[in-house]
A and B are shown apart, each in its own frame.
Chain A
Amino acid sequence: EVQLVQSGAEVKKPGESLKISCKGSGYTFTSYWIGWVRQMPGKGLEWMGIIYPDDSDTRYSPSFQGQVTISADKSINTAYLQWSSLKASDTAMYYCARHVTPGPYYFDYWGQGTLVTVSS
């Protein structure tokens, strides 16, 4: 069974750093692109960027380039999304999802989401 399990909810202060994770199982992790999607409170879905865990090829949406870093550790089947200095506007639910290959094409499996709250 394909599963993407994300790390738990986080509460942080502005200016702090954060790294959230997404662990894949039930499939060959290195053969599928993993993407990250932001959903701000009460709002829609925003595609942030993707990574191919086998070689760490990464592509960012221009809206998120320079704001976050996407990485992966293929030895433990885990992808990451990190911030060096959080802002209140980063408060959102963040989903990881698996892209159908070879594309990458649409998302076929999603993680449960990680809620990030940034507040002083």
Chain B
Amino acid sequence: DIVMTQSPDSLAVSLGERATINCKSSQSVLFSSNNKNYLAWYQQKPGQPPEVLIYWASTRESGVPDRFSGSGSGTDFTLTISSLQAEDVAVYYCQQYYSTPYTFGQGTKLQI
């Protein structure tokens, strides 16, 4: 199985400031034939199911505010929230879909 490790486990950021969450995979999730990273980011708010924010490591899902961005390649990835809003308080997960089982990181709890 590919192990996904996020850092930090929790993070407190002031409103309007930048938040950065890291995700590292135990093996590359870059598929050489199409040069795509098989990596997604999800946001889960309390009492709700997760929602996809970013896929292919850097493609923002329709409707997701542009303050959310994803970067990285191979084994190292980053989710950045450029200017934190109150509604961004949530747990964030990365997930690889390169090979089954499609493992998740342990989650990063983002607070104000």
Contacts and interface: CB of A to CB of B under 8 A. Distances in A.
B110 to A, nearest CB: 14
Interface of A: 35, 44-47, 49-50, 59-63, 95, 97, 99-100, 103-108, 110-113
Interface of B: 1, 38, 40, 42, 44, 49-52, 55, 61, 91, 93, 95, 97, 100-107
Contact of B52 (A60, A63, A107, A112): A107
Given A45-B107, A47-B103, A106 B97 contact: yes
Contacts of A112: 49
A19 to B, nearest CB: 20
A45 B50 contact: yes
Nearest to A59: B100
B51 A110 contact: yes
Given A47-B103, A61-B100, 13 more contacts: A44-B106, A45-B50, A45-B107, A60-B101, A61-B101, A97-B49, A103-B97, A104-B97, A105-B40, A105-B55, A107-B50, A110-B50, A112-B49
A60 B101 CA distance: 7
A44 B50 CA distance: 11
26 contacts: A44-B93, A44-B104, A44-B106, A44-B107, A45-B44, A45-B50, A45-B93, A47-B103, A60-B101, A61-B1, A62-B101, A97-B49, A99-B97, A100-B55, A104-B97, A104-B102, A105-B40, A106-B52, A106-B95, A106-B97, A107-B40, A107-B42, A107-B95, A108-B52, A110-B49, A111-B49
